[in-house]
Amino acid sequence: MKRIKKNSLNAIEAFSIPPDKGQFAINGDWENPICFLPSSVSEIDALIDTLKGSDSISFEAFFGTHFIGVRNNDKTSSGAFIKNCINAVSNSESGEGLLEQLALVFNVPILGQSFNFAELGAEGIWNTLGGIKLELSDSESLSEPTWECIVNSHVYKNTSHIKAIELACDGDYHHWIAIPVSKPDFPFKVERKLVEVAIKLVQLR
Spatial contact of 150 and 190, defined as CB atoms under 8 Å apart: yes
Distance CA 77, CA 55 (A): 10
- pTM of this structure: 0.87
Backbone angles phi, psi at 141, to 5 degrees: -150, 165
**pLDDT tens by residue, 132-180:** 998 766 666 788 889 999 999 999 999 999 999 998 887 667 889 999 9
Distance CA 72, CA 78 (A): 7
For residues 73 and 68, the model is more confident at: 68
SS3 at position 194: helix
pLDDT given for residue 205 in this prediction: 41
Distance CA 178, CA 122 (A): 11
pLDDT given for residue 28 in this prediction: 85
How many degrees, rounded to 5, is the angle at CA 11 between CA 8 and CA 17? 120
Strands across the sheet with 114-115, in order? 114-115, 2-4, 202-204
Give me Rg for the CA atoms of the chain: 16
pLDDT at 204 over 50: no
The full DSSP string for 65-99 is TEEEEEEE--GGGHHHHHHHHHHHHHH-SSHHHHH
pLDDT at 74 over 60: yes
pLDDT at 106 over 50: yes
| 108-172-90-61 Cα dihedral, nearest 10 degrees | 130
For residues 159 and 99, the model is more confident at: 159
Spatial contact of 134 and 153, defined as CB atoms under 8 Å apart: no
pLDDT given for residue 2 in this prediction: 63
> N- to C-terminal Cα distance for the chain?
7
**Percent residues over pLDDT 90 in the chain:** 33
**Percent residues over pLDDT 70 in the chain:** 81
Domain chopping of the chain, boundaries:
2-106, 114-172+179-204
DSSP 109: S
Distance CA 97, CA 80 (A): 19
pLDDT at 82 over 90: no
**pLDDT tens by residue, 20-57:** 999 999 888 889 998 888 876 666 677 777 777 677 88
What's the whole-number average pLDDT of the chain?
83
Q: Where are the beta strands (DSSP E) in the chain?
A: 2-4, 21-26, 34-36, 57-63, 66-72, 114-115, 117-122, 132-134, 163-169, 175-180, 202-204
pLDDT given for residue 187 in this prediction: 94
For residues 90 and 136, the model is more confident at: 90
pLDDT given for residue 175 in this prediction: 86
